Structures are given as C-alpha cells and as structure tokens.
Amino acid sequence: MVGPVSPRVVIAEDLYLLRDGLVHLLQAHGFEVVAAVESGPELLEALTGLRPDVAVVDVRLPPTFTDEGLQAALAARRAVPGLPVLVLSQHVEQLYARELLADGTGAIGYLLKDRVFNAEQFVDAVRRVAGGGTAMDPEVIAKLLVSTARHQPLGALTPREREVLELMAEGRSNAAISQRLFLSESAVGKHTASIFGKLDLAPSDDDNRRVLAVLTYLNAARG
C-alpha cells in the first residue's frame, strides 16, 4: 500500500537560522522541503521550476531587501496560476498583498512572524494554504480592509455576518467561530449560508464557497 504523499514546500528566508528552523519544523510535520532559498531570483526559479504544493515566503529578500519575496511570488503565480503561497513576514506590504489576492484563486496566506505563537498554528496555516484555503493574520486583514462597508455586495452583510466572514478569512472553522463569537455551530452555519447567498455564491462545495467568500471580502479593499 502506498502511504500518504508528503506536501512539497519551497521556503524563502534570508536569515539562515530562521530558514533552517523552518526546514526542520516542516520536515518534522511531514512536509518535503524541496528547496530553501535566500533571494528573490532563487525563489522565482524554484517556484516555476519545482512547482511545489506550497511556498513559505518572506517579503524582504536580497538583493535589495524591499519586496523581492512578494514580487517573486506574484511572478510565479502568473506563470503557475493558483500556486499556493504563504507569506511569512514582519511587515504588511499592502499593495502587493492585495495584488496577490486579486486573481481570486485562493491558496493564499499572510502571517506576521511576531504573531505566530506555536508550531501547530503555523503548520496548520501551511496545510490550509496548500489545500487551496486562506490563512490571514487579523492584523493583515485590518490593514487591507479600509471602508469596505461601501462596497457591494459586502454592504448587505449584517455586522455579525461580517464578524463571521472576517474569522473565515483567518481560516477558522465553524466550530472555532462558534467558540470565538459565543454562538452555536448551527447559528454559525446559518450565518455562513446567508453570507453565501448575499455574495451570490451558487451552491457548490462549501469549502470552495468559503474561499470565494473570503476572497470577495479581501478584494473589497482594492476598490
């Protein structure tokens, strides 16, 4: 019998100790690290050549330490549509983060290094992005979403539905949302169904509709 296939991951981080730590952490949790690079050009080559199941990318890489990581990720997703990318950074680069979300295909995450508190949280985010979902830090969401209430159809959502959708953007399950908002899971289910309806998302796989709803929410900040 063939065992489960290990997700293939590319890591881009210029600091050696952090890069090596990420390699060992992900390997310990069943990932196959196919490349660990330290610069933007190396990252782009690895992503387009190896086509991993997910990339973990720092924003600021050599040679200029500005936005090489995100630029390489964007270029790779243009060459390989839907390539899963999890940004792991100390900074929120709003312009490029929005562009990364703009193609509407999902498989995107953006975590802040100083807000990742344990290995399980991080590994769960990597797996979620590799599976086509989203994993967004609340602080990133707050900076991306400015005055979204005026954007339709988001303007049709109730305040509670917007809370539910924001937690969905963080990658939380219905059970986790119910605990956070002190609601029953059935109530959360009703809210998500209402969100899907107001965002005009046709009946389909619920996981897919969750991703589409989150992308609609995040892309509102582009207006």
Angstrom CA distances, 146 to 107, 118, 134, 149, 221, stand at 23, 29, 19, 9, 6
**Phi then psi dihedrals of residue 175, to 5 deg:** -65, -45
Over residues 125-140, mean pLDDT: 88
Encoded tokens for 3: 């065992």
How far apart (Å, rounded) are the C-alpha atoms in residues 135 and 86?
8
Here the tokens at position 128 are: 């979620």
| pLDDT for the residue 220 | 63
Residue 1 has pLDDT above 50, yes or no: no
Q: What is the pTM of this model?
A: 0.74
Strand locations in the chain (E): 8-12, 32-37, 54-57, 85-89, 108-112, 134-136
Q: Under a CB-based contact definition with an 8 Å cutoff, are residues 123 and 111 in contact?
A: no
Residue 131's alpha-carbon distances to 83, 85, 97, 106, 211, in angstroms, are: 11, 11, 19, 9, 11
- What pLDDT does residue 149 have? 44
Q: Is it the case that residue 98 has pLDDT exceeding 50?
A: yes
pLDDT for 145:
59
> For residues 114 and 218, which has the higher predicted lDDT (pLDDT)?
114
What confidence tens digit (pLDDT) does each residue in 49-82 have? 999 999 999 998 998 888 899 889 999 999 998 8
Q: What pLDDT, on a 0 to 100 scale, did the predictor assign at position 147?
A: 41
Q: Per residue in 145-204, pLDDT tens?
A: 554 444 556 778 888 988 888 888 877 888 889 998 898 888 888 988 888 888 877 665
The whole-number pLDDT of residue 103 equals 66
Query: Which is more confident, 125 or 96?
Result: 125
Residues 6+ apart with CB under 8 A from 169: 134, 136, 141, 214, 217, 218
Single-letter amino acid code for the residue at 16: Y
How far, in Å, CA of 221 to CA of 223, rounded?
Answer: 5
**pLDDT of amino acid 148:** 45
Name the more confident of 78 and 4. Answer: 78
Is pLDDT of 133 > 50? yes
pLDDT, tens digit, 9 for 90 and up, residues 10-49: 999 999 999 999 999 999 999 999 999 999 999 999 999 9
